[in-house]
């Protein structure tokens, strides 16, 4: 959102919640926002120090990445890249947010719009190293899953849990081992899963399967297919 729209979009009550005596004038608000922007690195660093000194950060952390696009051309960090907003023709920035399993954010990174998640993960790890204790667990998806990033995480004396990118041979081996191995049963949010733990050198792979989720996914796919047929005109 453009800062030029802040006073029009946010209600007056929002400013009172932040203990403003009255709705600030545009010039005052923009001047304060500019100060925050100039000192953002200092503010984020002090935030991290405060949280760490009070032992608020949990050891289980979820780094994730997203993007936001611009309508104008004035953003210095703006760049063309993969658009999660389905706006490939507009410049954007990408940002990373890391949140603990306790719901408390621990890190924020901002990069140019053409930076991919696997590259962005390197910047996130630099920030993470300053605030998290050793043996922390980083849980992330395929975007940050590269051999280089995983080696660096282990070198930092952290652990990681990530999703294996779609790869036919890896998935084929995993399914074969799953079928041939004894399984553990776990429940997550009331859903039953069967799990097989596969040790491969120093790495450990987990294969999970839920019959109920598989049936639900199959029903949803069939429903979607029927709706597509119903909504198409074949005449």
Quickly tell me which residue has 């990681």 as its tokens.
160
- Dump pLDDT digits (tens) for 125-179: 998 988 898 999 999 999 999 999 999 999 999 999 999 888 888 889 889 999 9
| Cβ(164)–Cβ(143) below 8 Å | no
| Angle 113-37-55 from CA coordinates, rounded to 5° | 95
CA distance 117 to 144: 6
Mean of all residue pLDDT scores within the chain? 86
State pLDDT tens for residues 46-100.
888 888 889 889 999 999 999 999 887 777 888 999 888 888 889 999 999 999 9
Helix and strand numbers (H, E) in the chain are 8, 8
Residue with tokens 């395929």, as numbered in its chain: 142
β-pair partners for 159: 137
Domains and CATH numbers, the chain: 56-165 (3.30.420), 169-230 (no CATH)
* pTM for the predicted model, two decimal places: 0.76
């Amino acid at each position: 959102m453009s800062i030029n729209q802040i006073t029009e979009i946010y209600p007056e009550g929002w400013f009172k919640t932040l203990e403003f005596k009255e709705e600030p004038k545009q010039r005052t608000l923009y001047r304060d926002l500019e100060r925050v922007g100039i000192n953002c690195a200092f503010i984020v660093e002090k935030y991290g120090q405060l949280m760490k000194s009070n032992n608020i950060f949990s050891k289980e952390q979820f780094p994730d990445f997203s993007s936001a696009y611009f309508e104008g051309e004035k953003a210095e960090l703006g760049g063309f890249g993969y658009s999660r907003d389905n706006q490939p023709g507009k410049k954007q920035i990408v940002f990373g947010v890391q949140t603990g399993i306790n719901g408390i954010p621990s890190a924020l990174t901002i990069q140019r719009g053409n930076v991919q998640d696997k590259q962005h993960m390197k910047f996130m790890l630099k920030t993470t190293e300053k605030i998290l204790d050793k043996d922390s667990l980083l849980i992330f998806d395929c975007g940050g899953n590269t051999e280089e990033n995983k080696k660096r995480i282990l070198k930092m004396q952290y652990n990681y849990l990530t999703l294996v990118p779609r790869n036919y041979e890896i998935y084929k081996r995993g399914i074969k081992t799953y079928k041939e191995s004894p399984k553990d049963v776990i429940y997550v949010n009331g859903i039953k899963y069967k799990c097989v733990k596969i040790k491969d050198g120093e790495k450990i792979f987990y294969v999970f399967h839920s019959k109920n989720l598989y049936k639900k996914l199959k029903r949803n796919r069939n429903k979607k297919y029927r709706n597509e047929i119903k909504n198409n005109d074949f005449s």
